[in-house]
Amino acid sequence: MMTVFPDPALAAGRHEPLGATVRDGGVNFAVFSAHATRVDLCLYDETGAVELTRHALDGPVDGVWSGFLPGAAAGQLYGLRAHGPHAPREGHRFNAAKLLLDPYAREIVGEFRNLPEDHGYPFGHPDGPFALDVRDNGPTALKARVAAPLAGPAPRASAPRHAPRDVVLYEVHVKGFSMRHPGIPEALRGSYAALAHPVAIAHFKRLGVTTLSLLPVQFAVDEPHLFGTGLRNYWGYNTLGFFAPDPRLASVAVRHDPTAVTAEFRDMVQALHEAGLEVVLDVVYNHTPEGNEWGPTLSLRGLDQKSYYRLQADDPARMENLTACGNTVNVEHPRVTQLVLDSLRYWVGEMGVDGFRFDLAPVLGRTARGHDPGSPFYAALRQDPLLSQVHLIAEPWDIGPDGYQLGRFPGRFMEWNDKFRDTTRGFWLGHGPDGTAIGRADFARRFAASSDVFRVGGAAGAAGASAQRSPLASVNFLAVHDGFTLADLVSHSRKHNDANGEDNRDGRDNELCGNFGVEGPTDDPAIRDARERARRAMLATLLLSQGTPMLYSGDEFGNGQGGNNNAYCQDNEIGWLDWPSADDALIAFTAGLAQLRRTHPLLRHARWFDAPGAARDAAGAGTPATLRWYHPDGRELREPDWHDGGVPTLAAALRDDHERLLLIANPGAASLRFALPPDGAWHLLLDSSGELAPAPVSGQEIVAPPRALLLCMAAATAPSSP
């Protein structure tokens, strides 16, 4: 039962931790605002519609306003009102008529409906966003609810610890994974609970992935332009609550109870951990739903816009937009750094997750000098006793100046490698981004974990940065949520985003793809065969290359989106995985690739080939592993061979003291003879096209089928033939 207060005096509070904390028979409240002149704590009844009392917090002390409310308890609804200058041209947009969500809210109730009164200015006013709207939006605004301390052991206690070289990532949307899965109970579909259902876990284990990379699960709202369209922000890249799991991803029975939503999320993590699976969260600390100067006033804007956001240097009335989402969070500010780090620690320490993928990650390291690998945020992250132990994955680009930062992240960061994506696609499709063929040299670099990017150390010279990164820093992928699925990129030559309601203007133009002669589905057996060969060859390249592989959920069974390469607003059968049409043979093929990767250490190096001390055995003895490239005629490739302009067929020979492997890549439309290196007899382990069965190779040559990747092992270390 919620306690209603007649209007007690607020006692002196503690300035830390920030947010609402149950303690000593009451609740402590603390919030940061460097430029406010007063901050009010507003208590609401259990419906969230009636404001009961209002209390002025003490402060500021180092920018923090605080107070202690005796007798208050978990379950109390509240919001904040910040007083201060309304001077938009100076960067200040204080408006005490607007109820603000606590940035540290762990439980959030209500629904954002993008009402006119949610904005700090009156619609239609001639001064636009510089005008002041004095309507009180309290009855309809989102509210924070005081959360009780989490009970029971944190799921982190049971977390698996996979060696970095063993990690296989699987990017997946919590809801989309299970909404059409016939093996998961209908009442659970689309939820955290469904992702931890035994049927889901069985699929992940069969597939051989170790680490689920979840699309955003933090509390998100829809963009204003989606209201009234029947569409919604399905992907969730519009975070408002950095400490609260999104109730829209909980099972129907609990989604209206924030406490139960949190419990369901923790139970999911616990179940996945017990199955040996790690959980990585895609997190969005680069922008918020408050948008540009025309956007709503929901939280950070009203609390202290000038501290929380980056403003244009020559016009502080305008937001700096390095994200294409209207605003940019000012992570360079110490208190904003604290907000991000506190949020990350909460998800690891209390919710049990195993790491993060940072959306538009360069924003986090931007200073007045641009992106800085030695920035205070990265330094704080790397020294944190909790966060320094988990996976850190960067999307290494934003839309700002010098926004492409692939290879320039420090320490243990892994990075999404779009160079691998485009080269692998182009190699097997027969054309690169500019229409010309992908050459041997480019394919070889991507196969070898993009040594030109990570081994040379793009971050060299930056404070705290290493001159050389591990090959595992390269997160290799073929497709992710943003773009074509694997099935679509071999079935379409252009995007088909009409269902998004933006006249097909949204989504990436000129995405590398190819339809092999017919746009979309076809019954032509030759085209279907070519598409299937290309798709399997790409999957084999992904899972057998050096680096850290990442599968996009559904690619393992042929899921498509009808050519939509920007399904961010498609919370329907376009965006959900099409399990009823799943290709089980393709699942088995993908699982077999993952098994080959696990079985052969040469396919998953933690060090560079030929580097000092690389790839020695457990005792440190032996010679370093080697990687050599071969021409189809059996000789090692020479300089002219890398640029001969013909079909870029080649072979990679990997060798250490324990085994010898040979990967043969034939992207051409015709079969091709390969002379095998003179290392004795060879055994074929894999032909991605399926033409050749695993068996000993007769003689010293092999005929590689069209559009196929082959894996062979020297017979001395090969399995005995059946």
Q: Which residues are catalytic?
A: 359, 395
Q: How many CB atoms lie within 10 A of CB 675?
A: 16
Cα 114 from chain centroid?
A: 27
Which residues 6+ apart lie within 8 Å of 84 measured at CB?
33, 35, 36, 37, 38, 92, 94, 304
**Closest CA relative to residue 239, chosen from 359, 146, 139:** 359
Q: How far apart are CA 596 and CA 615, in angstroms?
A: 18
In one letter, which amino acid is 256?
A: H
Q: How far apart are CA 291 and CA 297, in angstroms?
A: 9
Q: How far apart are CA 420 and CA 434, in angstroms?
A: 16
Q: How many CB atoms lie within 10 A of CB 693?
A: 8
Tokens of 433: 């981004």
The strand ranges marked E within 613-704 are 626-630, 650-655, 660-666, 672-675, 682-687, 695-696, 701-704
The strand ranges marked E within 193-273 are 211-214, 218-220, 239-245
Tokens of 611: 């580097």
Helix/strand/coil for 426 = helix
Length of the chain measured in residues: 722
Let me know if 699 is exposed, middle or buried by CB neighbors in 10 A (0-12, 13-18, 19+): exposed
HSE-up (13 A, CA, CB side) for residue 181: 26
**Closest CA relative to residue 324, chosen from 397, 417, 419, 220:** 397
**Closest CA relative to residue 472, chosen from 709, 190, 167:** 167
Helices (H), 384-524: 418-429, 440-447, 451-454, 486-489
Q: How far apart are CA 544 and CA 376, in angstroms?
A: 37
